[in-house]
Structure 1
C-alpha cells in the first residue's frame, strides 16, 4: 500500500494541503495505553465511524508532529509520546463528497502513540465521543480492515 503513496506525492507537490483536491496526506495516531491492551478511538462526527485520532497535515511536513497535534486537538491529552518515529501503518481511503469539497483520497500515515489512560479526555466538536476501548472492542466498533490490521500489529508488539 505504501507504494501507492510515492507516485501520488511525486505528482502533487501540494499533497500536504487540503487544497490538493484529488487527495492529500493525513496524519493519524493509533493511541495505546502502556500495556498495549486498550486504544483511544473517536466516534467521528462527519464519518459516523469509530476510528483512530488524526486529521489533515495542513502543510506540516513532519507528519509525526501533525499526528501528535491531532491527539491534543481531538482528545485534550497532553501526556503522550511517540513509541517510535517510524510509521506504524498506512492506509489510502476515499472520503465522500460534502457540501464544500469533492470526493477525494486520504493518504493516511499512522504513528503508534502511547498515552496515560488516567488523563481525562475531552471530546472535540469533531467527535460524538472519545473513549478508551479494549482491542477486541475496537474491532467490534469498527471491523474495517485498517482497524483490524492496527489491532493485529498492536497485539504483535505487545507479545500476544
Structure 2
C-alpha cells in the first residue's frame, strides 16, 4: 500500500469526535477531493497544495503540551511537516515529525486516528497545507531537544496555549483534550 492509499483510507475513516468544530466533515471531503484530483497531492511538489502530518505532544501527566517556535514562521505550533518517501503511513509521518522536532523518543500517538484536520494557506508555489493532525503522549522522563527547524521548544499548560498560539493550535488542543 502506498502513502497515498493510506491517506485516502485514513481520511475516509476519519470521524470528527464529540464537540468537534463545524466544518471538519467538509474539510475531510475537501482533502479526499484534493487527492482524487492530484496523484501527487501527498508531496511538497504539488502546486495545488499537499497533505502534511503533525502531532501535538502531551506530557505524561496530561497537563501540558510541547510547542515549537517555528524558525521560519516565528509562531508557536505543534510538531509537524511534510510527508517523505520513507513514510509508509500518515500516522508514521506524524510520529516521525513529532520525534524529529521534539527530540523525544518513545512518543505514542493517541488511539483513534487523527484528532482533527486543518487547512491553511502557505506561500507559492504550494498554496495550501492540508494538515492531518494527531496527538502524541510523551513517555515518563522525556527530555525535549531542539531541532534545526525550531527557535525554541517550551511546555505550556493547557490554559496558556491560547495566549501564545493561533486558533488552529487551540482547536487541536481542545480536540485532543476531548480524547484524553
Fold conserved between structures, TM > 0.5: yes
Q: Counterparts in 2 of 1:1-160, with a 5 A limit?
A: 1-59=27-85, 60-97=87-124, 102-116=125-139, 118-142=141-165, 144-158=166-180
Is this contact kept in 2: 1:85–1:111, CA < 8 A?
no
Q: How many residues align?
A: 153
Cα distance in 2 for partners of 1:145, 1:72 equals 23
Q: Does structure 1 conserve the Cα–Cα contact (< 8 Å) formed by 2:115 and 2:176?
A: no
RMSD, matched Cα: 1.6
1:68, CA displacement in angstroms?
0.9
Q: Where do 5+ consecutive residues of structure 2 fail to align?
A: 1-26
Any idea what the Cα deviations from partners look like across 1:20-48, whole Å, max 9, x if unmatched? 12211100011112332211110001111
8 Å CA contact 2:64, 2:157 repeated in 1: yes
SS of aligned partner of 1:8 = helix
Which of the two has greater strand per residue? 1
Q: Deviations over 1:44-66 (max 9, x none)?
A: 01111000000001233501101
Whole-angstrom CA distance in 2 between matches of 1:92 and 1:154: 17
Which segments of 5 or more consecutive residues in structure 1 lack a partner in the other structure?
none
8 Å contact from structure 1 (residues 64, 85) kept in 2: no
Counterpart-to-counterpart distance in 1, 2:78 and 2:72: 14
